[in-house]
A and B are shown apart, each in its own frame.
Chain A
Amino acid sequence: MSAVATPPATGKKNYVTAIKEALFEEMERNPDMICQGEDIGILGGAFGATEGLLAKYGSSRVIDMPISEACIVGSATGLALGGKTVMAEMQFIDFISCGFDQIVNMLATYHYRTAGEVNMPVVIRGPAGAYGGGALYHSQMNEAWFCNSPGLKVICPSTPYDAKGLLKGALRDGNPCIFFEIKELYRKREVEELLPEEDYVIPFGKAAVRREGNHITLVSYGQNVYHCLQAASELEKLGVNAEVIDIRTLVPLDEDTIFASIAKTSHLIVVNEAPMTCGFAGEIIARVAEKAFEYLDAAPMRITRLDTPVPWVKPLELFVLPSIEKIVQAALKSIKY
């Protein structure tokens, strides 16, 4: 994957360019904002998301950090205590585990512990997700760890428009946010889109209905949204009309859009590429079971990664991950329930 972000000639922009624009615009807008992470300055980031930031804003606001994820998070907490807004990059979201204690015990609880005296405007963002042959430690989606840690907002955009608007929103939110970027989408031509010239922010807790349908609801986020959309196209050929919902933010979760959809379709499949046990798909289904059970005509289903790590070579990787075929088969089963 190239580290250089080449803007396409169409005027459309790719996902990583959207991230980059959000960072530049927020750095410009907020003189108290700091960016820090491994290789984000001189190199411009492993994926080029911070390219040019150092030249424009200088080394005091764009900090090349040692390979110390725990210190990246801990010092971000300190910067926030000192009145700064911080973007902390994890080079791969897999590496966030090295900073886990500082995230869940120090950063996430700070506002709570101080009874609101101290806010923590810290956004930890990084490339996430499988399907690229990244193997065990460059493929993870570990969002569930953070959804299970009160005090964190958890975001996962699937389009350039959302990536920019949600990242800008996160940097203005005032709460710690864990921002999952889908690296397989960073430079994917098919998802490029025109971005508004003017400033915009996407509010948290508002799902997007990516495709309307009335037979079954497919709920997802990140790159699995595209698997759902392609599965919906397949299903259409078989006479099944699927609705596809992209939740966009996990915490907070837009339950209403999901409930409204299953009120119409009475069938639900949730798709995510994280492992099944205690994953976020299970959380969505639990909430539906508690609050919208009577809408359902069939048992809700999860299509997730198997409860395995993400293996390296293609056949192994694809075997354990959600696929269009798995979604189609599950949908047909649900309809026939």
Chain B
Amino acid sequence: MFKQVYLARYFDVRLIKEKRRGRLKGTLYSSHNQEAILVGALFGLQSNDWISPIHRDMPAFFLKDLRKGWQREDRIGMSIEEVCAQVWGKVDSPGRARDNWSHIGSRSKHIIHSTSMLAGTIPVAAGLMYADRLNGGDAVCLTFNGEGSTAQGIFHEAINFAAVHRLPVVTIIENNQWAYGTPVDLGCPTPDVADRAKGYGIPGFIADGQDVFDVYDKVTAAVEHARSGKGPSIVECKTFRAYGHGDHDDDRANKYRPQEEIEAGRARDPIGVCRQTLLSLGYLTSADAETYHAEGKNATEATNEDFPPEVVEYLNAGIEFALQSPLPNAEEGAMWVFKEKN
């Protein structure tokens, strides 16, 4: 789990570096400081479970079912090569580079394809889980959302429907305090976004989004609740967005957000929190704990030496693959509007 947190962070750090080197185009939506949510939420899932990540969750695509083994062919999750091919807009992307950044998915990998309309995949997750139950399945679907998207009508409509039918849909809220340039108190009238659960008669868990183990515990409880037929739930993970909404917003985000708020929000780096827990429980010797130190460092400060070598090698392979993968043929732009003959 610790290594996965490192992997998620390294992915973020490395993509920022790649873009600065000019080897990567497009907007990056950093998950820096929110990695514990992705790792903690995904770690306990069964292989056949589904996920629905959004823009800030890019590592989720390869973290899914990673526990099974990083190189396992039978994982039900995307390979790092597929994810990098998508980031670089190459034909080997699972979506053949038809939509950008995190707008990919895969039926075979049990990942719902998102759009830019936030909370829009929750009804899809609900319908999918309805179908899964009819088919005799036992899957659970985790949908990831920001606190901002909980103001969308479809958020309410979908959770309402899921609650009526006790569908196994767990809605993760990554409450990073800022919906682009709007603070949470201008988007949600209650102190805890999880309070929205009360209206549906479902549990609203609150997790420390900096603590991978707390996220794991709360999401595991929510998943067990869902899998046992008791229905949906909301898990609010409290965290803080390290950078701007996207990297185009980094400079402004340092102005519209008070400096002391940024410092406080980034003070508890999920890597450091995880290390401390492992040390205190005796799962990590102090010698091992001293080896790598990525916490507290932003993309400019962190170097490859701050990360375990296997993490660096894993991503290197993905990036090399992406750089060599070709662009799709231009004609593909007009393909697959409709399914052709049965």
**Interfacial residues, chain A to chain B (CB-CB below 8 A):** 34, 60-61, 65-66, 68, 70-71, 73-84, 101-102, 105-106, 109-120, 150-151, 153, 172-175
Contact = CB atoms under 8 A, between A and B. Distances in A.
Interface stretch (B10-18, B103-111, B232-240): B103-111
B127 A111 contact: no
B75 interface: no
Given A68-B160, A82-B135, A74 B124 contact: yes
12 contacts: A68-B160, A70-B154, A71-B160, A71-B161, A74-B127, A80-B127, A83-B131, A106-B121, A111-B336, A114-B95, A153-B338, A173-B339
B160 A151 contact: no
B337 A70 contact: no
A193 B103 CA distance: 48
Contacts of A173: 339, 342
Given A115-B98, A119-B339, A79 B128 contact: yes
Contacts of A118: 107, 113
B7 interface: no
Contacts of B134: 60-61, 82, 84
Contacts of A101: 117, 120, 154
A177 to B, nearest CB: 10
Given A66-B160, A110-B113, A113-B103, A75 B96 contact: no
B208 interface: no
Interface in B123-142: 123-132, 134-135
A106 B339 contact: no
B279 to A, nearest CB: 43
Contacts of B128: 78-79, 81-82
B126 A71 contact: yes
Q: In the complex, which range does the number of interface residues on chain B fall in?
A: 35 or more
A81 B154 contact: no
B131 A115 contact: no
B122 interface: yes
A172 B339 CA distance: 12
A151 B338 contact: yes
B98 to A, nearest CB: 6
Contacts of A80: 127
B115 interface: yes
A174 B126 contact: no
B127 A82 contact: yes
A75 B161 contact: yes
Contacts of A34: 131
A78 B106 CA distance: 13
B115 A106 contact: yes
B339 A78 contact: no
B113 to A, nearest CB: 6
A60 B166 CA distance: 13
Contacts of B113: 110, 113-114, 118
B156 to A, nearest CB: 8
A150 B334 CA distance: 10
A78 B332 contact: no
Contacts of A115: 95-96, 98, 332, 335-336
B122 A74 contact: yes
A66 B126 CA distance: 13
For the complex of A and B, list the 8 residue pairs with the smallest distance between their C-beta atoms, beginning with the closest: A78-B127, A74-B123, A82-B131, A75-B127, A78-B128, A71-B157, A68-B157, A78-B124
A84 B338 CA distance: 18
Nearest to A153: B338
Contacts of B132: 82
Contacts of B164: 66
A106 B117 contact: yes
Interface string B298-342: 000000000000000000000000000000000010011111001
Nearest to B161: A71
B99 interface: yes
Nearest to B93: A115
Contacts of A65: 161
B84 to A, nearest CB: 17
A118 B123 CA distance: 17
